[in-house]
Amino acid sequence: MSVTELGSRAPAPQPMRLGRRGNRAGERGVEVLLFIAATVGVLTTVGIIIALVFPTIDFFGDVSIVEFLTGDSWTPLFADKEYGVLPLLVATLVVTAIATLIAVPLGLGAAIYLAEYARPKVRSALKPMLEVLAGIPTVVYGFFALVAIGPLIRDYWPGGDKPSFQNLLIASIAMGIMIVPTVASLAEDAMTAVPRSLRQGAFALASSRMQVATRVVFPAALSGIVAAIVLGISRAIGETMIVTIAGGLISDRVLFNPIEGSATMTAFIASAGQGDLPLGTVEYKSIFAVGALLFIITFALNIVSFRLVRRFREVYE
Amino acid sequence: MSETTTIAPPDLDRRSGVKITARQEQSTPASDRNGGVDPIIELQDVDIYYGSYRAVRGVSIPIERREITAMIGPSGCGKSTLLRSLNRMNDLIIGARVTGRITFHGQDLYEAGVDPIEVRRRIGMVFQQPNPFPKSIYDNISYGPKVTGMKVSNMDDLVEEALTGAALWGEVKDKLKTSALALSGGQQQRLCIARTIAVKPEVILMDEPCSALDPIATAKIEDLMAQLTKQYTIVIVTHNMQQAARVSDKTAFLTAEVDKDGQRHGVLIEFDDTNKIFSAPSNELTEAYISGRFG
Amino acid sequence: MAIDTSRAETGYVHPSAAALKRRRIRLGDTLFRLALQFCLFVAFAFLASLIIYVLIAGWNRLDLRLVTNMPSGLASRADESGLQSALTGTLWVITLTALMCLPTGIAAAIYLEEYADNTRWYNRFLELNIQNLAGVPSIVFGILGLGIIARVFGLGFTIITAAIVLSLLVLPVVIIATREALRAVPPSIRLGSYALGATKWQTVRRQVLPAATSGTATGAILALSRAIGEAAPLILLGAVTFVRFNPEGISSRYTVLPIAIFNLIKSPQAELQELASAGIVLLLIILLLMNSIAIVIRNRAGKIR
């Protein structure tokens, strides 16, 4: 009954008008706007490259690229200016190496625990805490390294030469903890993506939980785990505030000893960039040259990381 | 031939009526062959491809106005693909394309200038899994009329009509503002039907609408379908032969055929009155399928 | 019970049955589990000691002076020094950042997830570019701000420059989080909408976006909290100058909380170190509030489904 009533009120069918009613220019306009928003990222990349390339080319007009890459003293802010990037590069590598040595075991341990051991309830309590750790501003890490870790290490230092007030070791420790959440969450994603059937197969062969974790899941997730580590390294290289605050600003010689203070690439950029360096001078342009080197290194590491993640996805997704 | 002019519904304006005649003349042989009286949709030699893979090959069926046409066949025979081609839902799959002709009142649905959105407004669809929007019951119904720009004098009345039409009004009239996700599966599916009839389409496509429902809910939907044919044309895909036999007027039996290159395509084996298909099928494959020997 | 008594009667236990009950203590396994728990413990112990340290070190300065007083230039007035200009600066910068990066990021995510045909090279390029941008060090964004936005565009060391740079910096975070939220919306909702004759934009705006609200909001909050704590790019953009006034507009000079803290850390006076700790507590409270909002939104969304 009711159906016929509905039918009687239905408008007369107009079967031939299947073309567009009104113009849907709005639809097209929206799509164009959305596309423009999506290109902002590309414009940013282009902007970064332009911002780096022109001053860097200028810089190499004044300083030879050989001196830049092989010189062992970096003193653009001194009266006697030298432009050898090795001190900055070595300090960066020292900090990154120590931070990685700290972050990889801790991060992977946390990831294995969360992915293979923790009950869902425990996991859902621990993961937000890792997120909190990841969300702490790096200024805070730097401060803590300088005023808390520094004195602690000096007090208990066994050798004769006490670490300096600012040194690469304390910066590395803080940075190591800072990148734990990065490594842990990506590695955990990789491990949870390993199909359950693989685990069940191993358990059915009387494997213990540790054997399943280390001999089945870990190898299966390896490329994802390596990607997590590479991304962690890339973050360590690019991190600025911790090394600026706690790592020291000396760069007139190459220092491999982590208990001495030494400027990394990012620490140099931050310390030189806050002063009022006159535009167009070589020392001003040196900020951009170091920035370009930093960009190239992190870009290469990011590409490696994506490749690894993609390979991992191809296998399991 | 001239009798095809009378096919044009009397409520058509003259210009389109003339156009219909022209189109109908081309398609008359197909409808004659199947003894059609008033086909609203006609498929003529339809092939459907996904990229270079041909999923459906050479299907010709007339779909009669205000009847229920069922498409049955074993899984993988392309019946859902075919159904989705009738309101251009397969446009949403990248690489999907249709050759042959699918006409609606004589208008080729895939001709340039035909707006798929307009097609879907006139040819609605109900899916296998009930898919109510995560909104209130009321908003589920009012959504279609709003987005299609229907002129609605009183939305409350329209919502009531649509829900009544889908035999759901009595059950939900006191909770129109509550979430549609709180309804049972069968109620959700009737809500999806109500939502579809609220935009007043001419045809409703149903893709295994009861496969996710229990027998009681299924019975309600089947009763509802019988009611709906007073106003709507229904095409239903089902893997349940009893259901096809119970509800439909015409039945198309499709099956998957493997060609010499090892490619599987869906092909139409037999199309006829449902009674004939289930009592005296002319093809032995149909006979084998309906008696449960394969599929 | 019955089995036990029968065993007692016969006195016989099949060796295989006995083996099942022999609990071997797997020392390696236990140690391994302990080692894993130790890893998490170290991370959380660090977090806890950090928070306790700044609370104790900044305790004396944790009062209203922190937000009502301006920083003092006089060494003798150090204990009256506050962080008001940094707090208002942060509010200005973050508000502008939100206004710029959220609409852009959400729109970009909608394009990439709902519109882009991934067989087209330019769409794949857009996607790769976003991923890559997420890994660019924040100080490099500072160089972009310094070289292009402050100098070439001539916006100078102002609030708007800072907000543009932070927007670009956290844009990938917004895009990636929003895309995940959109991907979590079941395709059946889109199909249902199309089947009623809705257009693509109608479907996205009225069905997909509302269904993705909680994920999008969570991502937005996390992105903004990252922007609040970010100091490195702003060092290059004039935020380190000593500012004793609240911002007057988008072209005003400014400082922000993390930079003000950075400046205090560098100063030798004990009172200012104390103020730095108090400032850190203030910053952490703001971030914790934002994080809890995000967690509440996420949990509430989890319950509805």
- pLDDT value for A7: 39
- 3-state SS class at B235: strand
CA neighbor of A63 nearest in space, from A300, A293, A298: A293
Task: Please state the ipTM of this predicted complex.
Answer: 0.89
Mark A178-201 as b/e (b = at least 16 C-beta within 10 Å).
bbbbbbbbbbbbbbbbbeeeebee
Chosen CATH of A67-316 out of 3.40.50.2020, 1.10.40.60, 3.30.70.2190, 1.10.3720.10: 1.10.3720.10
Residue type at A188 in one-letter notation = E
The H or E element containing residue B234 is strand B233-237
**Number of C-beta neighbours around residue A136 at 10 A:** 23
pLDDT tens-digit map of A93-137: 999 999 999 999 999 999 999 999 999 899 988 988 888 899 999
What is the side-by-side order of every strand in the sheet holding B53-64? B107-108, B96-104, B39-50, B53-64, B264-273, B250-258, B68-72, B233-237, B203-207, B123-126
Residue B57: inside a domain: yes
Domain residue spans of chain C? 15-61, 75-304
Q: How far apart are CA C96 and CA A100, in angstroms?
A: 36
Contacts of A18 in chain B (CB under 8 A): 104, 107, 109, 114-115, 118-119, 122
What mean pLDDT do residues C216-244 have? 91
- pLDDT value for A15: 46
How close does chain B come to C169, measured CA to CA in Å? 34
Q: Which residue on chain B is closest to C204 by alpha carbon?
A: B147
CA distances from A166 to A75, A143, B200, B216, B262 (A): 19, 11, 76, 77, 73
Task: Give the β-pairing of B39-50 and B53-64.
Answer: antiparallel
Phi, psi (rounded to 5 degrees) for B41: -125, 140
Q: Return the higher-pLDDT residue of A6 and B151.
A: B151
- pLDDT value for A245: 95
CA distances from B151 to B123, B199, B202 (A): 19, 10, 17
How close does chain A come to B115, measured CA to CA in Å? 5
CB C169, CB C102: distance < 8 Å: no
CA neighbor of B140 nearest in space, from B122, B119, B155: B155
Interface of B with C in 37-56 (CB under 8 A): none
- pLDDT value for A25: 77
- pLDDT value for B113: 85
Question: Which single residue is written with the structure tokens 């919502």?
Answer: B159
pLDDT tens-digit map of C124-152: 999 999 999 999 999 999 999 999 999 88
Contacts of A126 in chain C (CB under 8 A): 40
pLDDT band at A215 (very low <50, low <70, confident <90, very high): confident
Are B162 and A14 an interchain contact pair (Cβ–Cβ within 8 Å)? Answer: no
What mean pLDDT do residues C170-174 have? 96
Residue B161: inside a domain: yes
Best interface-test mutation with A: which of B109, B111, B122 has the largest number of A CBs within 10 A?
Answer: B122
Binding partners of B (≥3 Cβ pairs within 8 A): A, C
Best interface-test mutation with B: which of C123, C196, C304 has the largest number of B CBs within 10 A?
Answer: C196
Contacts of C135 in chain A (CB under 8 A): 231, 234-235, 298-299, 301-302, 305
What mean pLDDT do residues C226-251 have? 89
Return the structure tokens found at C301. Answer: 């969304």
- pLDDT value for A63: 93
pLDDT tens-digit map of A161-211: 888 899 999 999 999 999 999 999 999 999 998 888 888 888 888 788 888
Are A135 and C116 an interchain contact pair (Cβ–Cβ within 8 Å)? Answer: no
Tell me the count of B-C CB pairs closer than 8 A: 72
Chain-centre distance for alpha carbon C16: 55
pLDDT band at C302 (very low <50, low <70, confident <90, very high): low
Q: What is the CATH number of the domain that holds B239?
A: 3.40.50.300
Best interface-test mutation with A: which of C26, C39, C83, C200 has the largest number of A CBs within 10 A?
Answer: C39
Non-local CB neighbours of C59 within 8 Å, separated by 6+ positions: C278
Q: Which residue on chain B is closest to A2 by alpha carbon?
A: B165
Q: Which residue on chain C is closest to A179 by alpha carbon?
A: C43
For A75-84, A218-227, B24-33, B160-169, which range has the lowest pLDDT when averaged over its residues? B24-33
How close does chain A come to C279, measured CA to CA in Å? 10
Q: pTM here? A: 0.85
pLDDT for residue A89 is more than 60: yes
Residue B20: inside a domain: no
Contacts of B115 in chain A (CB under 8 A): 18-21, 24
Q: Return the higher-pLDDT residue of C234 and B212.
A: C234
pLDDT band at C4 (very low <50, low <70, confident <90, very high): low
Alpha-helical regions (H) of chain A: 2-9, 25-62, 65-70, 86-112, 120-135, 138-144, 150-156, 168-192, 196-204, 209-211, 218-220, 222-238, 241-246, 265-274, 282-316
CA atoms within 13 A on the CB side of C233: 30
Contacts of A21 in chain B (CB under 8 A): 115, 118, 149
pLDDT for residue A11 is more than 60: no
pLDDT for residue A313 is more than 80: no
What mean pLDDT do residues A144-150 have? 94
Extract the residue ranges of chain B whose pLDDT is less than 70: 1-37, 295
Are C137 and A142 an interchain contact pair (Cβ–Cβ within 8 Å)? Answer: no
Highest-pLDDT range among A290-294, B29-33, C73-77: A290-294
- pLDDT value for A12: 43
Are A139 and C130 an interchain contact pair (Cβ–Cβ within 8 Å)? Answer: no
Superfamily for domain range C75-304? MetI-like (1.10.3720.10)
DSSP lists the bridge partners of residue B268 as B254
Return the structure tokens found at B261. Answer: 């290159």
